[in-house]
Amino acid sequence: TQLLEQSPQFLSIQEGENLTVYCNSSSVFSSLQWYRQEPGEGPVLLVTVVTGGEVKKLKRLTFQFGDARKDSSLHITAAQPGDTGLYLCAGGRNTDKLIFGTGTRLQVFP
Amino acid sequence: DAGVTQSPTHLIKTRGQQVTLRCSPKSGHDTVSWYQQALGQGPQFIFQYYEEEERQRGNFPDRFSGHQFPNYSSELNVNALLLGDSALYLCASSSLRDTQYFGPGTRLTVL
């Protein structure tokens, strides 16, 4: 069974602070996605990483895929209240079932 | 271009009843996957449909069944509902071997 562990589970920070969310597994994934989910809505795709060591940037968000393709991180610079939400990592093999992480709930206070 | 749509938005059922949830994929997508998301947890894969066939299945009992229609839309059926089936049910669509895009979900409450 492939499991993805995310840490921390909960994060409450002030606007302007930086943060990093981690996603770890003992299994290798061919790709890893990061999603953000608002309450009562479906997850919205932020990024897909496929190459070991790959780094992708999306404005203030930086995503990294581990060299061994077993782990990933999401770093947010100067967090804003609009970043509040549930962040989910998900690993998969092509379009086979996605294995989701346990989620990190982020609250950014103004 | 409409994204993934799901109906109904919310649903309340009682134990033992049966429920059908519906999903229309994003235009151009031919693969539909269903996930169950319990409160406070990440989504769990139920099954995936492609070319009207169940292509892969997660660890869910036979009470969970599905169907895909020629227009690629899909239904999820759950029989003999249990309290533990209360969750947000998410549909995701994709083209084979491509990224999955999620709908807004159907919130099912079993009383």
The upper half-sphere exposure of residue A50, i.e. CA atoms within 13 Å in the direction of its Cβ, equals 7
Each residue's pLDDT tens digit, B54-73: 999 999 999 999 999 999 99
Q: For A61-107, how does the pLDDT look when each residue is reduced to its tens digit (9 = 90+)? A: 999 999 999 999 999 999 999 999 999 999 986 557 899 998 999 99
Q: What CATH number corresponds to the domain at position A68? A: 2.60.40.10
Q: In angstroms, what CA-CA distances link A107 with A6, A11, A15, A57, A86?
A: 16, 6, 10, 21, 9
Residue range A6-37, pLDDT digits in tens: 999 999 999 999 999 999 998 888 889 999 99
Residue B44 with chain A: CB contacts under 8 Å: 100
- Torsion sign over Cα A1, B33, B90, A28: positive
pLDDT of residue B95: 87
pLDDT at B12 over 70: yes
**Region B17-22 average pLDDT:** 98
Distance, in Å, from the CA atom of A90 to the CA atom of B102, rounded to the nearest integer, reads 13
- Residue located via tokens 């404005």: A59
Residue B34 pLDDT level (bands cut at 50, 70, 90): very high
Residue-range definition of the domain harbouring residue A99? 5-109
Q: Is B60 on the interface with A (CB under 8 A)?
A: no
Interface residue of A1, A25, A97 to substitute, partner B, most B CBs within 10 Å: A97
Task: Please state the domain count of chain A.
Answer: 1
Q: Is the pLDDT of residue B98 over 80?
A: no
**pLDDT, position B32:** 95
CB within 8 Å of B62: residues ≥ 6 apart: none
Q: Closest Cα to residue A61, out of A38, A80, A41?
A: A80
Contacts of B78 (CB under 8 A, 6+ apart): B18, B19, B21, B63, B64, B65, B85, B108
Q: Region B84-104: what's the mean pLDDT?
A: 90
A41-70 average pLDDT score: 94
* Model pLDDT, residue A94: 57
Give the model's pLDDT for residue B1.
63
Bridge partners for A10 per DSSP: A105
Summarize the confidence of residues B39-49 as an average pLDDT: 92
Residue A66, chain B, CB below 8 Å: the answer is no
Q: Which two tokens stand for residue A41?
A: 């809505």
pLDDT at A39: 85
Whether A2 has a pLDDT exceeding 80, the answer reads: no
For residue B31, what is the nearest residue in chain A, using CA coordinates? A95
Predicted confidence at residue B24, as pLDDT, reads 97
Please report, rounded to a whole number, the percentage of residues in chain B having pLDDT higher than 70.
Answer: 98
A101 interfaces chain B, CB cutoff of 8 Å: yes
3-state secondary structure of A15: coil
CA distances from A88 to A70, A78, A96, B49, B53 (A): 15, 20, 17, 23, 28
